[in-house]
Structure 1
């Protein structure tokens, strides 16, 4: 799911891992994730969402599925200065 890190590095950062799966995962990927992570962990991934990973559709979908309302704006990159 995260091609630029080793599996161990990816799993050591649950927000990064879950954000990628919640955006790009297949039904089978999500079935496995839902068996190993709680809804609270998924909500935390949304709360701590990293810029540039979630798309608008996934962002809205997961907020609805997890009952998080209102839906905040997508995480944005902040440029210094």
Structure 2
């Protein structure tokens, strides 16, 4: 679990995890951060990056679960966080595996 100031995440949780209360949502800060990275508007994503830092965003991205990112956001954040320089360096989206 990552350590992020809850007060930073509460307004974002209210906006991007609308099906839970902000207090419930921030119990899993990685989920709130991933949701903003995936569907957040540019302003919110940039504010989040400035508040939590790229290291936290990298951790969330590299430990994300299947379904947390769409393909467009996945590619954008890999380039934005300098995790890939070409399309060939971008790993596939996480997938669910059923036994």
The answer to which structure has the higher helix fraction is 2
**Which protein is bigger by CA-based radius of gyration?**
2
- Mind listing any 5+ residue stretches in structure 1 that lack a counterpart? none
Structure 1 counterpart SS, 2:92 = coil
User: Is residue 15–residue 48 contact of structure 1 (8 Å, CA) maintained in 2?
Assistant: no
Contact 1:19 1:53 in 2 (8 A): yes
Residue 74 of structure 1 corresponds to 93
Between the aligned partners of 1:9 and 1:45, the Cα distance in structure 2 is 19
Q: How does 1:40-59 map to 2 (within 5 A)?
A: 40-59=55-74
CA deviation after TM superposition for structure 1 residue 10, in Å? 1.9
CA contact (8 A) 1:16 1:50 kept: no
Structure 2 length normalisation: TM-score?
0.72
Number of matched pairs: 80
TM-score (norm 1): 0.86
Question: Alpha-carbon deviation of 1:57?
Answer: 0.7
Shift of 1:15: 1.7
Structure 2 CA distance for aligned equivalents of residues 8 and 50 of structure 1: 22
Contact 1:59–1:74, Cα closer than 8 Å, also in 2 = yes
Q: Provide the aligned C-alpha RMSD in A.
A: 1.4
Structure 2 unaligned regions, length at least 5: 1-15
Report how far residue 16 of structure 1 moved.
0.8
